[in-house]
A and B are shown apart, each in its own frame.
Chain A
Amino acid sequence: MKNINLLPTDLGPSKFLLGVAYFCKKATILMSVVFFIAAIGFTVYFVIVKPKITNLTVSRDSLKESIAGLEETEQKLFLTKERIGKIKSILALYSVASDLPTVNSLVSNSAGVGIGHAAVSEEKTAVDTTFRDSSALSSFLAFLMQIPGYKGIFLNSLSFNPVTGYSTGFELSNK
């Protein structure tokens, strides 16, 4: 059976609507194509990436097991590093032993000088000395001036006794 439209043409759908319908059809086709391409793309990506993740997971788990077997070594390494860090800080601390040779040089290298008492600490070295005469005192002072490393040399006390000679209290400052 054939339909014959007897209606006048201006009663039919307008050109604008026909245009819209045409655009919609084309857009629908385009979107369907995009949808299928995207679906295929995603499937391909999934097929490639999923086994990769699975393989990496298997490898990671096996490494975890292997590391668990090396736990003792890990503990030792961690402990050694922790101790070494602290040992370094201890070794960096000042020790009076490093200043002892200087004090000894004062005793041994000065003729006519008697050293009664020396106190050595991180901040300073205090030395109580006696001198037979003024020349011994001046040569001792000259010797003190040559010693490197001290920031200041202070004469804290000076007294004279005709029998014993000069008595002094020196302070060699490290800071």
Chain B
Amino acid sequence: MELTFLNKGAGKNLSIQLKVVAVPLLSLFVISGILFIAAKMGISQIRSLNASLVAIKKEESTLRQKEEILRRVKDSGVLRTDLVTIALPNKNPTLFLFSQLKYLAAQKGVTLSQIEVKTGAATAGLSEVSFSCSVDGPSGLVDEFILSIGTIVPLSRVEKAEIDYSGSTVSVLVEVDSYYSEFPSELPSLLSQATDLSPDEKVLLEKLAVLTQPTFIELSPTAESERAEPFSE
């Protein structure tokens, strides 16, 4: 048997002591470092995935709900944009209003005179046009005319009335206000929630449908006529 004598002196004692601890310590530091970095990366990845999952779930749910509402609204046919846009047009409704008041006056048998139109102030997204005129006729018919103003579109209201009972007929100087408002220029974002029409809104649409609508005359294009040859005999 070959013997190796480990008599390397007392100076080597420290190196032995270090050797015993160094390797396990180093391993511990390395694994701690790896674990720390991996945990940090892992946690951040999990957080990011979780955030994506929550966000996409929310988006998907919002879009699903919106699609369902839009489909239901489309199939129900309750949307009457024509009604609401005539009731509250996007442009000055003076001509519509004038036409409607003339139609009403003819229907009730009263006469309109001293017609004046003024543009009023805009408030809360609504612009106002003020139409004043004198209404003459028998008392009952004039009253009917004034009460009927609330039943026409564009929506109008009687702001003031000065009634003169001195003659044989009644003469009323009325000031009728009508409104218009520009259409919204932007649609809400795709991811915004859509809400169906509430029962109140549906009732209002039904009320608008029974109001007196202005009559539009659509002129059809005339057919092309054959031109006579001017030089033929």
Contacts and interface: CB of A to CB of B under 8 A. Distances in A.
A17 B17 contact: yes
A45 interface: yes
Contacts of B34: 35
A27 B35 CA distance: 12
A85 B174 CA distance: 27
Query: Looking at chain A, what size class is its interface with the partner chain?
Result: 35 or more
A88 B198 CA distance: 13
A46 B41 CA distance: 13
B70 interface: yes
Given A70-B67, A90-B155, A4 B3 contact: yes
A140 to B, nearest CB: 15
Interface of A: 1-7, 11-14, 17-18, 20-22, 24-25, 27-28, 31-32, 34-35, 38-39, 42, 45-46, 49-50, 52-53, 56-57, 59-60, 63-64, 66-67, 70, 73-84, 86-91, 93-97, 100, 103-104, 107, 114-122
A110 to B, nearest CB: 12
Nearest to A30: B31
Given A38-B42, A63-B60, A107-B165, A81 B24 contact: no
B56 A60 contact: yes
Given A56-B56, A83-B88, A35 B35 contact: yes
Given A87-B208, A89-B124, 14 more contacts: A13-B17, A18-B20, A28-B24, A38-B38, A38-B42, A50-B49, A53-B52, A56-B53, A70-B74, A77-B73, A79-B184, A83-B81, A84-B84, A86-B126
B71 interface: yes
Contact of A91 (B50, B147, B155, B183): B155
Given A38-B39, A67-B190, A25 B208 contact: no
B212 interface: no
B130 to A, nearest CB: 13
A95 B63 contact: no
Given A28-B27, A97-B158, A67 B63 contact: yes
A76 B79 CA distance: 7
A78 B84 CA distance: 12
Given A4-B3, A13-B17, A78-B187, A24 B27 contact: yes
20 contacts: A1-B2, A1-B4, A13-B21, A17-B21, A21-B21, A28-B31, A45-B46, A64-B63, A67-B67, A70-B67, A73-B74, A74-B70, A76-B79, A84-B201, A96-B158, A100-B146, A117-B165, A117-B166, A120-B160, A121-B160
Contact of B53 (A11, A52, A117, A119): A52
Interface string B64-108: 101101110110000111001101100000000000000000000
